[in-house]
Every structure is written in C-alpha cells, then in structure tokens.
Amino acid sequence: MASRFQAATLATAPCYPNAIAWSDENLIAVGSGHLVIILNPALPFGPRGLITIPDCEPYPIGVVKREELLSDCLLSTSLNRDRRPSVRSISWSPIGMAPNSGCLLAVCTTEGHVKIYRPPFCDFGAEWIEVVDISDRLYDYLAIINFGEPHISSAEFPEEKTPEHEPIDDLPNSVPRKERKRRRVNTSSVINGRSSKDSDVGSCLSIEMARIVDFTSNKMKDSNTHPTVAASKSKGNSITKIPSNCCLPLITADQYASRSAMLHSLAVAWSPVLRLSSKKYPVPQNGSSNWFSILAVGGRSGKVSLWRICVPKCYSVEDCKVPTTAVLIGLFQAHNSWITSISLAVLSSDSSNPQVLLVTGSSDGSVRIWDGYIQELLKSAEAHCVPFSLLKEVVTVNTVPISVLSLILPVQSPRLMLLAVGKGSGSFDLWKCDISCNKFDKVGSYNAHDQVVTGLAWAFDGCCLYSCSQDNFVRSWIFHGNSLSQVSIPTNTPGLQSCTDLPDAFVSCLGMAVSPGNLVVAMVRNFDLDALDHMYQAREKTEERNLNFSEVSTVRLAVMNGKSNFDGTPIASNRRIRFPQFFISRMQNVLLAGNMFRAQRSAIEFFWIGGQQLDVLSNTFPKYGHEACPDFSEKELSIWESNILWSLQQYEDLHKPLVVWDLIGALLAFKRSIPQYVECTLLKWLSSLYLGSLSSLYLGSHVGLSMKTVLSHVSKSVSKISSRQLHLINIILRRVILAELKADQINSKLQNLEGIYGSEEEQLTVWMELLLNSEKELRERLVGFSFSAFISLGAYATSTCSQTVYWCPDGIAQMEQWVAHNHEHVRDQLKVLASEVAGSDRRSHPSKYVDKEQCTYCTASVPFDSPEVAVCRGLESSDGDNQKHKLVRCSVSMQVCPATPLWFCKCCQRWTSKLAPESLFIMPRYPDDFKSLIESSVQEETPKPFCPLCGILLQRLQPEFLLSPSPV
C-alpha cells in the first residue's frame, strides 16, 4: 500500500466530486463544505487562504400562485432544507488571468451561484477577493430577454382579481417555526430591487418562493408583460416584512421552475489562455485584448453559458485598479438535463486559428463534444450567437448519470484527445478521439469502483490515469497502445516521512489532482467521524448554539478590531480600539490553523507517483553506473530517473509555466540519501542539451562522460541553448546542487567567482561556473534585446506613422555601463549595439534615459558597480559622519529600485521594478541578429512578470503568516 509523504487536515468536509484542484502557480484549492480552503503544497501546515461561501440574495424571477406551490416541478425547491450554501464545483483559471499574473478561482455553490475570486496579494488578508459575480450577469441578461419566453399580454390571462401575497407564516409546511425564527431576513435595506450586501440576507429561508417576494427588479418590470402582484402589508407575526412597493410578475409553476433552472449553475471550467496574433486579427475596439480565456458554466436547465475573460493589459503588485471583466458570448442548450461536469481544451495551439474543444456530461448519462475556433470566440459579442457546434455525442442518454470528466491532449499527438468519463455507478469509460478525422473509438468501460466516481486525473502526458471514488479507493491505470491496464501505485518513495499523525479512519475520497510536474498526486478524503477520538473533535460554543470555525473567527476578529464585545454586541465607535491590519490577518491565520487541528473533518494526502512504471511490457532496465540504494532496487531507481527526465523535458513547451516544486522536492529527497544518483540524473539531462535527445541517452551512448567534461561542454554551449532550458539550469543549480547556500551567498560569489577557488571544493566551483555562464548569457540576451528595442523605438519616434508600443526598455545607461565593465567577455554584436545606442538621439526618445542615479533615501549619487546591488556615495552630516545606503537594483533594467512595492523572485530572491519582454523567455538560442528579431516583435511585445534569470512567476513578497505560491 502506498504511503503519503505529507498531509494537511481540514476543519470541514467536501460533499461533491472533484472537490480539489491544483493551480498552474502551485496552489491547491479544496471545496470543503461552506469554505474554499487554499494552501501551498510546499507548506501544508503554513498559512492558508480562505473563501467563505455567503448566502446569496435570491433573484426576483416572479411570483407563483399559492395553489401551485406543491406542483411536481417545484418539489425540489419545496423540499430543500440546506441551512447554508456549500461548494459544489471549483476551477482554476490559467496563469496570467489575475491582476498580479496569478490564477483566478471560479466557485460554484449549491445555491447555483458562480463567482470569481482573486488572491489578496495587495490586501494583506487571508480572505480572497471577489472580482466578478457571474450569476448576477447571467440574471441581468435573462431578465432582458424575458428568460427566452414569449411576451404574453395581460389580456391572455383570465380576468380575475390578482391575489395578494399571504403572510409567509401561513405557507403550508414550509420551514419549522423555530428554524424560520433563527433565520430571519432583514429587508429594511432593500434598494432598487436588491438588498445591500451588509443586510442580513445570509439567513434566507430555504423556500425560494417565499423569499423572492422581498425583492423587485426594474429589468423585470421593463421586460415582462405578465400581470404583476402587489404585495400587501402583513399585520401578522411574519418573519419577513414585504415592502409595499414590491411588484413582481405573476408566473406559473412551470415558468418558475424553468427560470430557476436557468439561473442555477452546477459546474464550472476554464479554458487555457487563447491567443491570436494582433497582426492577423486586430485588437477589438471594445477595449478587450487578443489574449483571453473562456469560462464555461453548466446549469440545471442543460444550458451552457460561455464567458470571455480577457488577460489584463498590464500587471501590478500594487493596489488592484484593473477590473476583471466577463462578457457573455454564448448561451446554448447542450443537454436536456442537468450538466454535471464540463471541461475544455485547445487543439493546435501553434496554428493561426486554434480549435477549442468543449466536453459536457449530464445527469441523463450523455456526453457530448463541441468544437469552436478562437477567432469566433473573440468576435462573439452576443449570447444568442453560439460559437460552438456539436462534434459528437460519444455517450447517449442512459440511466447512469455522469459524475466527472477528464480529458488530455498528448503533446506527442496534438490532434488526439483522451477522454475519461466517470459515472455514478462507479465505472468509467475511456475514449480515444482523433479530431483530425473525426474518429471516436471507445477503448473500454471499466468497473473500477463500487460507488460514484469522484475524481479522474491524467498524468505523464496521457500514459497514466488515476481514479478515485466515494468508496474510498484510489486506483492507478496505465494506457498503452489501445488498452488500459490497472497497476499498483508505487509504494517505495523518496523522503518518506510521517509528518502528520493522522488517524486511518477515512470513509470516502472526494477528488484528486496531479501536480504541475506530474510527480505528485493529491487527494482529499473525509474522515469517518464515528471512528475518530471525540476528544479532538471539540467545537466552540456560544450562547447555546454551535458556531462553525468561520463564525468563531469572525467574532474573535471583531473583538480584536474593537468592533464588538465577546458576546457579539457592538461597541460604540468612539470606544473602539483598532489593531493593525497585519495583526488581524495574522490572527486570522492562527485561528484558521488552530481550528484545522481541533476539528478534523477531512484531509489532503500527498503521494509520490514519480516511481510509476509507464511501460507495463518492459522488464529490462539500463544500468546507470551507480550503486543502488538499499531502500531502492535498480528497477525503481531507473523508473524514477526516467520520469524525472520526462518531467524536465515537458518544460520545453513554452506554454507550460515553470512550476517545478515537485521536481525539486524529488531531487532533494534523493540527494539526502543517494547524492550520486541525483548527480548522474542531472548530468544525463545536461548532456542531452548539447549532445542529443534523451532517447539516445537511454541507449548508453553518452554514459561514459565525466561530470567535469559534461559541465564544461554545457558552459561553452550556452549560446545554443534556449532561454527556457537556461532557466531550468539556474533553478536546479540554485535549489538542488547549491541548496545549502543562501541566495545572497550565491549572488555574491557569482560576482567574484575567483574568491571560491581554494576555499570551496572543486566540484562546487564547476557547478558555480555553469551558473555564472548561464546567467551571463541571459543578461546578454536581455541587454541586446533592450538595445535593439531602444534603437527601433527611436526610429519610430522620428517617423510620421503612429506605432503602438507595448514595451519600452529602461536602464539603457546602466546597461551601457554593464557592457563597458564586461567588454572583454561580451559578444561583438552587443558591442556594436552599444555603440549605436551611444550615438543615438535621446532627447525625443519615448524611453527613459537616466545616466545619473540618486539614492532612494537621500539625494546622494549612486555609482554603477554591479547589476545586483548599489551603494550611494552618502551625504556628510553636521557631525562629520557619511552615512551610505545599500540599495538593490532591478534584475531587468539594472536601475536602482524605487521605494514602492516590487516584484520578487522566490528562487534567486532578486527584485524587479521593470518587467522583462516576452521575447526573452522564448528565444531558442542567442539571436544572430537582434534587429531582425525586434522588427518582427516590437509591435506586439508585452511585458511578462517572470524572473529574467529564473523564468518563474514573480510575485509580491508576503509576510510569513500570509499565503503565497511557491513555484520552486
């Protein structure tokens, strides 16, 4: 049986399939009851993010006659007894959608509401920030089109006196009086048809017909011609006072059920970032961009709504001022029943107009594949113009509902799609779809579990599939050729440690997710509460009622912030004592962590899967020239090596973000026990960068090369290596080979490499030389591109034609000094560009040229001695002291960083104030001519918040008690 290497406990339990999701920036979100808990897998016991699901305001869709309340179509609404909404579906956006270039999180609740949240990178809190309410926008659209119903004149209704609303207390068998009294609705703040967010709407009644009479909608008045019902003033002991100006359309029970279903969402999914060239497809005039993602939302009505959300035009780590906009570009009938699962993928991302695939699964058992094109998705601006068409119904209607979907497009076969379909019966189907010829083959149907399948996750480019179920079993499958075979999850893993003393009392598994590097799988499981020691399940009590964690935390935080007493009564504003915001945020995390351990309801378990054998037919493994560790056989080590090399190779895809946490973790775990094994594996990968592909290495053609020979060849060949591979080299050298050294120590030694000769081991010196040459190569590419852009932009400034420029270089004067300091080591092309820059006209140039820098903290001048740090000359004080300030330089512009929030790299720990151009990160080698590269790209050049020397996502440095992602 496989053993976890780490785990994290949760205070609430998930209720629905696919309850866990792993983001592209290495954050894990779990839809757990009424909370979404977000954590960093590198710090499972560290700070966490939080989204508390609120009770949302009901939408004023109409009024049903009293005698129709018990109609069959309203039974599900009448029998609903959910005391508070919980999480039904979650989905991470691709990286780059948030204002700080991180990921957005879409959350769908059991009330059918969908909202999008961003990380609180500039808010210094644990609670994530809502940016878009998708359900509100969907309601606005449906209200305008009258929910797709024909306009019926009032003359078509029988002439009878319009009934007045009776007191809510008189509704038959609605909600027990005790429950209704506790869940009072405050309607005193109803404004323009909706109550304010500060009103006590969070305790609405369960019966939606009862609660909709509290709100009005101007849109409904304008678009509906149904008879309206004027609410009477109730004199009884009603728990809800109906406003006298309440005026809603009188609709039938079927209309009410239909409208409710159209507004009730069940599943959400994001597409990858879709991009069109601005040369072939001009940027739309509506303010959007050619970079966007599609959020697909499936609902009870069987309809799918498509929302276009554009990538921010600029990124910032300061106050979020760029709004996130969502445009409804399509609403179509995908199924005749509930849509229970949804997924998207992109085919042929390198083509001029890539194809987008949408897969939907329904409660009626059907699965359909839809296709569309990015150009149509970009142009679409009206919901009735559906940009998708039905490609194939792979599973027809049957009695077994669909629970989860998982699809993957293998890199080796970009026109091939592998689709796994999980069902409520515990089985799943596997389909192999060749989109190029519309060929859809069913590989097989597998009775894998006894209960509903709650999670399916692909790994290793479609070679491995993992399934989990409510029966608490997790199974591993290998796809080879046209067959799927069940295999065991590897039990022997590196760095195995029992860091969490969790009881082995799990009762169900509600989802699983694979890490970005495909070496770790995470699954969320619920505890069997009856089998746990109840001493550790104590809950806080306040005034005879049990409060959940978030309520207790809110009370405590209100007390700390001086807003209320411990009994919840408010404190007068003139007597409040306010604590600093950072203290409140820290205490919020302390309360979160404390309750996580006091009340264990579920847990996230992490398992290594890097030892998974992908070829079930292989029984022979090559020798690697190193002795096997007693804990691992030669076969296990060779499998691990193969998967590590595969993980390194997958990052050659420039569209895949550099998130190597699991890869670095595996190498460090092996380094502690078998350092020679790690060295051999890395040398094999480095050899492939200049000698050949990894396939030839497996044949043993380059095994005999020594470490010094390999590193020497790589150091001399850095100009022929892509920027992405150089970034990987820098990350691995810093985080694995030189892990014992701090980033400042490494940076200082790179400035004076001669200082480590004789004092450090010769082996360390060779690795340091490789790191020095790799970073120097990247700096040359950045400086050369900046010089060429400076020259080209100067020519555009003097020309009469207008040019749209997205990126302008800064720090040209400092780069000139850097070239002068390294004149003997830089290439001739860079020297020529530097001379052209020196002779150019800088007065009318759009880029800033600052040759004399001043200290951020005083007016003293700052000389250029290093691209890393600077020391001002200081000002003499009256007492004769000359105080100097040590300053950091921007890793991109080499200028002194201003005293404002900066971008920070978690790998090399450098600071950035000016973002690097995108071209730096996609260079296949050192350019033969920077000018030709600039002419083809400067018009579209956009800054990217990636470290120019590590390639990972930059972020705002957060206090240690706040959540932040760890790419490495």
Is the pLDDT at 575 greater than 50? The verdict is no
What is the mean pLDDT of the segment spanning 16-28? 96
Q: Is the Cβ–Cβ distance between 455 and 404 less than 8 Å?
A: yes
Q: What phi and psi values does residue 143 have, to the nearest 5 degrees?
A: -65, -35
pLDDT(789) > 90: no
Helices and strands in the chain, H and E counts = 20, 46
Q: Return the SS3 of 529.
A: helix
Q: What is the pLDDT of residue 71?
A: 87
Task: Indicate the residue type of 677.
Answer: Y
Q: What's the length of the chain?
A: 968
Environment class of 906 (CB within 10 Å of its CB; exposed 0-12, middle 13-18, buried 19+)? buried
Confidence of residue 387 (pLDDT cuts 50, 70, 90): confident
DSSP states along 925-956: SS-S-HHHHHHHHTTT--EE-B-TTT-SBPBP
Alpha helices in 799-860 (DSSP H): 812-821, 828-838
∠ CA 37-43-45, rounded to 5°: 65
3-state DSSP of 635-653: HHHHHHHHHHHHHHHHCCC
User: Residue 750 burial (CB < 10 Å; 0-12/13-18/19+)?
Assistant: middle
Mean pLDDT of 334-344: 96
Least confident of 1-5, 662-666, 726-730: 1-5
Give residue 703's pLDDT band: very low, low, confident or very high (50, 70, 90): low
Amino acid residing at 797: A
pLDDT of residue 845: 64
Q: Is residue 797 scored above 60 in pLDDT?
A: no
Least confident of 274-278, 591-595, 795-799, 836-840: 591-595
Name the nearest CA neighbour of 16 among 53, 48, 45, 49: 53
Containing H/E element for 302? none
**Which residues lie across from 343 on neighbouring strands?**
359
Cα–Cα distance for residue pair 218/239, rounded to 1 Å: 25
Confidence label for 243 from pLDDT (cuts 50, 70 and 90): very low
- The pLDDT of residue 938 is above 80: no
Report, as an integer, the average pLDDT of 89-93. Answer: 97
Measure the CA–CA gap between 16 and 422, rounded to whole angstroms.
Answer: 13
Q: In which band, very low, low, confident or very high, does the pLDDT at 458 lie, cut at 50, 70 and 90?
A: very high
CA neighbours closer than 13 Å in the CB half-sphere of residue 583: 10
User: 537 pLDDT band (50/70/90 cuts)?
Assistant: low
In terms of phi and psi (left: phi > 0; alpha: psi -120 to 50; beta: otherwise), the region of 737 is alpha
Answer whether 116's CB lies under 8 Å from 139's CB. Answer: no
CA-based radius of gyration for the chain: 31
Mean pLDDT to the nearest integer, 146-169: 50
Q: Rounded to 5, what percent of the chain is helix, strand, coil?
A: 30, 25, 45
* Terminal CA-CA length for the chain: 29
What contacts 235, CB < 8 A, 6 or more positions away?
none
Read off the pLDDT band of 709 (50, 70, 90): confident
Q: What is the DSSP letter of 693?
A: -
Min mean pLDDT across 19-33, 68-82, 480-494 is at 68-82
Q: Give the Cβ contact number of residue 309 at 10 Å.
A: 24
Instruction: Return the pLDDT at 404.
Output: 97
Predicted confidence (pLDDT) at residue 618 exceeds the cutoff of 60: no
pLDDT at position 188 over 80: no
At 560, is the pLDDT very low, low, confident or very high (cuts 50, 70, 90)?
very low
Do the beta carbons of residue 928 and residue 958 sit within 8 Å? no
Q: Which of 647, 725, 790 is closest to 925 using CA atoms? A: 725
CA distance 526 to 505: 9
The residue among 146 and 752 whose pLDDT is bigger is: 146
The C-alpha atoms of residue 5 and residue 20 are separated, in whole angstroms, by 18
Lowest mean pLDDT across 127-141, 354-368, 577-591, 752-766: 577-591
Whether residue 193 has pLDDT greater than 50: no
Q: Is the pLDDT of residue 860 over 70?
A: yes
CA distance 521 to 558: 39
Tokens of 352: 């001029």
Res 173: pLDDT: 30
What is the percent of the chain with per-residue pLDDT over 90, rounded to a whole number?
A: 45
pLDDT for 536: 53
pLDDT in the model for residue 381: 76
In the prediction, which pLDDT does 157 show? 40
Listed in order, strand segments (DSSP E) in 794-944 are 853-854, 861-862, 869-871, 875-876, 882-883, 886-888, 903-904, 911-912, 916-917, 943-944
HEC per residue, 612-635: CCCCCCCCCCCCCCCCCCCCCCHH
Alpha-carbon distance 202 to 210, whole Å?
Answer: 15
d(CA 963, CA 413): 38
Q: What does DSSP say about strands 190-191 and 129-133: parallel, antiparallel, or unpaired?
A: unpaired
* pLDDT on residue 277: 64
User: How far is Cα 542 from Cα 556, in angstroms, rounded to an integer?
Assistant: 12
Task: Go through 702-732 and write b for each residue having 16 or more CB atoms within 10 A of its CB, e for each that does not.
Answer: ebebeeeebbeebbebbeebbbbbbbbbbbb
Kindly tell me the burial class for residue 873, based on how many C-beta atoms sit within 10 Å of its own C-beta (0-12, 13-18, 19 or more).
middle
CB of 27 within 8 A of CB of 38? yes
Cα–Cα distance between 434 and 443 in angstroms, integer? 13
CA-closest candidate to residue 37, choices 14, 56, 54: 14
Q: Is the pLDDT of residue 630 over 60?
A: yes
- Residue whose tokens read 């998130």: 659
Angstrom distances, CA of residue 343 to CA of 12, 368, 419, 428 = 27, 11, 10, 16
Among 19-23, 337-341, 379-383, which stretch is predicted with the lowest mean pLDDT? Answer: 379-383
Q: Which range is least confidently modeled, 410-414, 665-669, 714-718, 792-796?
A: 792-796
The token pair that represents 597 in the structure block = 């351990």
134-144 vs 253-263: helix axis angle to the nearest 10? Answer: 140
Does residue 806 carry a pLDDT above 80?
no
Strand partners, 529: none
In this structure, what are the phi and psi dihedrals at residue 343, rounded to the nearest 5 degrees?
-155, 155
Task: Please enumerate in sequence order all residues whose Cβ is within 8 A of that of 633, keeping only pairs 6 or more positions apart, or say none.
Answer: none
Strands 402-408 and 416-423: antiparallel
Phi, psi of 819 (to 5 degrees): -65, -40
> Which tokens is 881 given?
């002291």
Which of 269, 350, 306, 270 lies closest to 96 in space, CA to CA?
270
Which residues, at least 6 apart from 849, have a Cβ–Cβ distance to it below 8 Å? 812, 813, 842
The secondary structure element, H or E, covering residue 356 is strand 355-362
The 10s digit of each residue's pLDDT in 831-854 is 999 998 888 776 666 667 788 888
Asked if residue 365 has pLDDT above 90, the reply is yes
CA 673, distance to chain mean position in Å, is: 34
Across 945-955, average pLDDT? 94
pLDDT of residue 82: 73
How many Cα atoms within 13 Å fall on the side-chain side of residue 775?
24
- As a whole number, the mean pLDDT across the chain is 79
Residues 409-454 pLDDT 10s: 998 887 899 999 999 999 999 999 998 888 999 999 999 999 999 9
Pairing of strands 389-395, 886-888: unpaired
